[in-house]
Amino acid sequence: MARLIFALILITTTLACGSRAEAKGDRHVEDAPRAEVLVGATDTAQYMPLLRGKRVAVLANHTAMFSPEEHIVDMMHREGINLVGIFAPEHGFRGAIEAGEVVRNSTDERTGVPILSLYTGTKKRPSDEVMRSFDMLVVDMQDVGLRFYTYYITMLQIMEVCAEYGQEVVILDRPNPNGHYVDGPILDMRYKSGVGWLPIPVVHGLTMGEIANMAVGKGWTPWVSLHVVRCRNYDHSTHYQLPIAPSPNLPTQHSIYLYPTTCLFEGTVMSMGRGTDAPFEIYGHPDMRGCSFTFTPEPNAGSKTPPFEGELCHGVDMRGIPVEDIWAEGIDLECLVEAYHNLAIGEKFFKPVFEKLIGVDYVRQMILSGATADEIEARWAEDVERFKIERRDYLLYAE
């Protein structure tokens, strides 16, 4: 088995989390040119007639661009659609709010449309008054295809409330930049949380439209009248380049590809680069040994209080890993296992949120017992194959 491994523990800083490309099978990397991918928002003939004469609410953020120059909300406002409110997910409508902060009621300065909180008082849902104010919900957000990325959860939560009130839901679909593969364990629903909502793998390979389609079809979400406006010139072998960063701490396409692996460090004592110019592309800790790469987290737009603020961290720079190696490997636990052994603090390496991120209890247990990354990843291989079969009836694009 071909590998790029550490010559000594964590000394190699540019080819960290070694490439075990053959471990999970050959994943096709396309070379032939393709027609330009067109997102669902561009296919106005499929959805604008549905909106005419309706009171419309929009669940969207800064990624919901109708064209390079115009946001979907601005286009609808220009076209005279009766927009009664905007719901904003984590990071806010314009994408500048730090992870976890509450998006409060305000007004969109460009259009005058109210921005409505998704959470009212102690209820984690819009108020009855807000829900009665619209007939149709339009969803347009760029997801990155991971179970712990929260945009799809926000969509499903409001879909559930729309089901209660009888509103229709229109999803303007966008490609999944990690949509060319499936990897990771299926969520044990004991660990259902705000970073994991459905019994799906960490990397599920679905678009937002496909997730909604599957959630309704499987009964994970109550039935709702659902219309998905599909992307054109897209299938699950397409490597789609995002035109806009989906959130402040995923600023590059490379960080999005590494995110299935590096986000797991959020469930440990490690820094994954928040408070630097390379979040989720580097990781480290003040006490790591044998590492020539260093960084010092400081407050920035993506993190007001980053872990180890002002402290020199020793660690690994993953920015040099070729994207083809990341595509071939998928989730790579080797860097997590290496960091665990490097710090040598045992159980203290993990935080309680680790299980919510990885979705099962056996990964922590196997690492603590000395299992290798290959051994752990082999354990979820059947999960992956089972899910691939389970999702086929709900796919909107060719595999």
> Which tokens in the block code for residue 232?
């054109």
pLDDT tops 90 at residue 123? no
> Which tokens in the block code for residue 65?
């661009």
- For the stretch 185-241, pLDDT in tens is 999 999 999 999 999 999 999 999 999 999 999 999 999 999 999 999 999 999 999
pTM: 0.89
Asked, for residue 144, whether it belongs to a domain, the answer is yes
Q: Which domain holds residue 317?
A: 248-368
pLDDT tops 70 at residue 3? no
* Residues 203/259, Cβ–Cβ less than 8 Å: no
Gap between the Cα atoms of 105 and 137, Å rounded: 18
Same domain, 295 and 331: yes
Gap between the Cα atoms of 210 and 228, Å rounded: 8
Same domain, 276 and 353: yes
Asked, for residue 220, whether it belongs to a domain, the answer is yes
Asked, for residue 383, whether it belongs to a domain, the answer is no
Q: How confident is the model at residue 6 (pLDDT cuts 50, 70, 90)?
A: very low
The percentage of the chain sitting over the pLDDT mark of 90, rounded to a whole number, equals 81
Same domain, 194 and 252: no
Domain boundary residue, one of 237, 260, 285: 237
Asked, for residue 362, whether it belongs to a domain, the answer is yes
Amino acid at 189: M
pLDDT tops 70 at residue 25? no
* Residues 27/183, Cβ–Cβ less than 8 Å: no
Asked, for residue 101, whether it belongs to a domain, the answer is yes
Asked, for residue 108, whether it belongs to a domain, the answer is yes
Same domain, 228 and 288: no
Same domain, 91 and 222: yes
Same domain, 223 and 254: no
Q: How confident is the model at residue 118 (pLDDT cuts 50, 70, 90)?
A: confident
Strands of 80-193 (E only): list them. Answer: 82-87, 106-107, 114-116, 136-140, 168-172
At residue 109, the pLDDT reads 81
- For the stretch 228-238, pLDDT in tens is 999 999 999 99
Same domain, 272 and 230: no
SS3 label, residue 61? coil
Asked, for residue 278, whether it belongs to a domain, the answer is yes
The packing angle between helices 208-217 and 151-165, to 10°, is 50
Residues 6+ apart with CB under 8 A from 180: 27, 28, 205, 236, 237, 238, 239, 327
Same domain, 65 and 150: yes
- For the stretch 293-349, pLDDT in tens is 999 999 998 899 999 999 999 999 999 999 999 999 999 999 999 999 999 999 999
Q: What is the CATH number of the domain that holds 363?
A: 3.90.1150
The helix, strand and coil proportions of the chain, stated in percent and rounded to the nearest 5, come to 30, 15, 55
Same domain, 177 and 320: no
Q: Which of 21-35, 96-110, 374-388 has the lowest mean pLDDT?
A: 21-35
Same domain, 186 and 55: yes
Asked, for residue 119, whether it belongs to a domain, the answer is yes
At residue 397, the pLDDT reads 98
